[in-house]
């Protein structure tokens, strides 16, 4: 997969709720300055109220909720979440079940715990977590019992890494949790990227989280779309290139989809 790079007329960079820029947003700002791309800061509320002049020549850098709103404003379908690509499920080393919060509640009532649950279609519904008792449902206040989720076994990783990919090539690897001395199996990682590409599940820019189990296997944690993701201090130029690659792809493919409807 190859993504044509383009020079945007301007960019919007999202401030957090305190009106400040988080580290990733600061990196993008600094890199855009070096590239002479003008930018403006914006808030989630401004995006909600449609106060921004958004079009295909504008780069939008922000959190998932704001990115989704920007895409909808342009008539571009929001990409489906693909946390556990089918081509990589053999690397999970744990069970995975599609369910609803109602089914999770039923499992808790019969003592089928602990169990890990996370949203299946909308990541912003709640943060994935381990559920050990019905008291844990307090974290889901106000969320529909019919909300689709993933359920999986609880596993412990000795270490966790994020692998950054542009056009099916590894451009960075960052260890973010656990024992920094425990390495990933690079052969498994490279094979996973090939499998994703061959299955048509890869995007122009993305990251995959891998962990090493106590049994030493390198296992898939989750896949992350490249339009909004944490950098873990990845080189700012590479991080910017990844976001731009994915945004370009969304603009190109999204407008093709919209034009064909």
Residue 80: predicted pLDDT: 87
Q: Is the pLDDT of residue 102 over 50?
A: yes
Q: Is the pLDDT of residue 174 over 90?
A: yes
Mean pLDDT computed over 12-26: 95
Q: How many CB atoms lie within 10 A of CB 158?
A: 15
Dist CA 65 CA 52 (whole Å): 15
CA 180 centroid distance within chain: 23
Mean pLDDT computed over 8-21: 95
Q: What is the sign of the dihedral through the CA atoms of 239, 165, 92 and 156?
A: negative
Q: DSSP class of residue 10?
A: E
Bond prior to 59 in cis (omega within 30° of 0): no
Please give the C-alpha separations between residue 101 and each of 107, 110, 131, 139, 221, in angstroms, as whole numbers: 10, 14, 11, 12, 21
Q: Is the pLDDT of residue 260 over 50?
A: no
List, in sequence order, the alpha helices (H) in 79-214. 101-109, 186-198
Assigned token pair, 204: 């122009």
Q: Is the pLDDT of residue 32 over 80?
A: yes
> At CA 21, angle to CA 20 and CA 22, rounded to 5?
120
Closest CA to 209 of 168, 248, 154, 165: 165
Residue 259: predicted pLDDT: 36
Residue 255: predicted pLDDT: 52
Residue 177: predicted pLDDT: 98
Q: Is the pLDDT of residue 124 over 90?
A: no
Closest CA to 255 of 247, 199, 46: 247
Structural domains of the chain ordered from first start: 10-79+234-260 (no CATH), 86-90+156-225 (3.30.470.20), 95-152 (3.30.1490)
Main-chain dihedrals φ then ψ at residue 82, nearest 5 degrees: -130, 55
Q: Is the pLDDT of residue 232 over 90?
A: yes
Enter the pTM of the model.
Answer: 0.92
Residue 243: predicted pLDDT: 97
Assigned token pair, 119: 């949203």
Q: Give the gyration radius of the chain's Cα atoms.
A: 19
Q: DSSP class of residue 136?
A: G
pLDDT band with cut points at 50, 70 and 90 for residue 118: very high
Q: Is the pLDDT of residue 257 over 50?
A: no
List, in sequence order, the alpha helices (H) in 17-175. 23-34, 44-48, 64-73, 101-109
pLDDT band with cut points at 50, 70 and 90 for residue 254: low
Tell me the pLDDT of the chain averaged across its residues: 92
Q: Is the pLDDT of residue 132 over 60?
A: yes
Q: How many CB atoms lie within 10 A of CB 33?
A: 11
Place of tokens 């090493």: 212
Q: Is the pLDDT of residue 4 over 70?
A: no
- 229-258 as b/e: b if 16+ CB within 10 A: bebbebebebbbbbbbbbbbbbbeebeeee
Mean pLDDT computed over 113-117: 94
Q: What percent of the chain has pLDDT over 70?
A: 94
Segment 133-173, tens digit of pLDDT: 999 988 888 899 999 999 999 999 999 999 999 999 999 99
Residue 131: predicted pLDDT: 95
Dist CA 132 CA 212 (whole Å): 24
Segment 183-221, tens digit of pLDDT: 999 999 999 999 999 999 999 999 999 999 999 999 999
């Amino acid at each position: 997969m190859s993504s044509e790079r383009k020079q945007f007329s301007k960019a919007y960079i999202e401030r957090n709720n305190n009106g400040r820029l988080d580290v990733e947003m600061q990196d993008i700002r600094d890199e855009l300055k070096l590239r002479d791309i003008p930018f403006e800061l914006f808030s989630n509320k401004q995006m909600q109220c449609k106060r921004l002049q958004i079009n295909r020549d504008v780069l939008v850098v922000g959190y998932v909720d704001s990115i989704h709103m920007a895409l909808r404003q342009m008539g571009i379908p929001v990409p489906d979440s693909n946390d556990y690509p089918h081509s990589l499920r053999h690397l999970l080393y744990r069970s995975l079940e599609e369910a609803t919060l109602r089914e999770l509640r039923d499992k808790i009532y019969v003592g089928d715990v602990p169990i890990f649950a996370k949203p299946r279609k909308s990541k912003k519904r709640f943060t994935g977590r381990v559920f050990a008792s019905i008291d844990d449902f307090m974290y889901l206040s106000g969320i529909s019992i019919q909300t689709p989720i993933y359920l999986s076994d609880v596993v412990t990783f000795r270490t966790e890494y994020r692998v950054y990919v542009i056009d099916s090539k590894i451009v960075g690897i960052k260890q973010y949790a656990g024992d920094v001395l425990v390495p990933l199996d690079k052969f498994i990682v490279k094979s996973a990227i090939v499998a994703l590409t061959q299955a048509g599940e890869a995007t122009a820019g993305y990251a995959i989280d891998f962990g090493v189990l106590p049994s030493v296997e390198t296992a898939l944690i989750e896949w992350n779309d490249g339009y909004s993701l944490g950098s873990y201090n990845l080189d700012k130029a590479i991080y910017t290139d990844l976001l731009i690659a994915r945004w370009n792809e969304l603009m190109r493919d999204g407008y093709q989809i919209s034009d064909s409807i």
